Copies of this chain bind each other. A is one copy, B any other.
Amino acid sequence: MARSGTSRRLVGDGDVGGRSARTRSLLVDAAIETLKEEGFAGASARAIAARAGCNQALIFYHFGSVANLLLAALDAVSVARRERYAEAVEGATSPAELVDAAAAIFAEDLEAGHATVLVEMIAGAASTPGLGAEVGTRIGAWRGFAEQAIDSAAAGTPLAALFPAGEFAHGVVALYLGLELLSHLEGDRAAALRLFERAKRLALLVERLGPPATSPTALGETR
């Protein structure tokens, strides 16, 4: 947005490793941390800059506005987590395996505060005109990912017929966000994790109702 043209290192658009990139990265990390610990309402330019150990004016130089920096923070979290998600979901070929992968991912997100960043940005978007649309497209990408993972893991099970992957994904993302809200509020992650245990058993139940056609262990038996 305000990328200057007078960089000493001529490394083009990326400027990776340059001083500018380093500051941007510091600010993005500080913004993430501030969203986690102070929430959207506490994520002011001054608060973020103090955490980054640099001057408040740099936020406007590099990002133009606080809202833009917060969006960059949301993007950073999204990119980092999507890589991890793809890796975790890769090996899941049945509903139960997908639940296991989701449980592991979600436990990490709760523990590290990644989910908090999403929730604070969604809830906070209401106070800044235009921010809602920007956040919406980013969350839409998460739901798309969930839909794809569910679609491929549910293939061949009765779930695919009973519950369209798109609707299911919407519910999963909502549950993810809601569990984060409650966990954060009550300082208790265990209640959320117990639900994944239940989901696992339900998934095994669903698998038994119909043979998972794509699973390598599909032999037509019920157990």
Binding site for B on A (CB under 8 A): 37-42, 116, 119-120, 122-128, 132, 135-136, 139-140, 162-163, 167, 170-171, 173-179, 181-182, 184-186, 191-192, 194-195, 198, 201
Given contacts A132-B185, A139-B185, A185-B132, contact A195 B177 (CB under 8 A): no
What distance in Å separates the Cβ of A179 from its nearest Cβ neighbour in chain B? 5
- Tallying the copies of this chain within the complex gives 2
Main secondary structure of the interface of A (DSSP, over half): helix
Please pick, from B167, B179, B185, the residue contacting A122 in the complex, using a CB distance under 8 A: B185
In the complex the two chains form, is A201's CB within 8 Å of B127's CB? no
Most buried by B among A38, A167, A171: A171
What distance in Å separates the Cβ of A107 from its nearest Cβ neighbour in chain B? 15
Please pick, from B116, B181, B184, the residue contacting A119 in the complex, using a CB distance under 8 A: B181
CA distance A170 to B182 in the complex (A): 9
Contacts of A128 in B (CB 8 A): 41
CA distance A132 to B188 in the complex (A): 13
Please pick, from B38, B132, B175, B176, the residue contacting A127 in the complex, using a CB distance under 8 A: B38
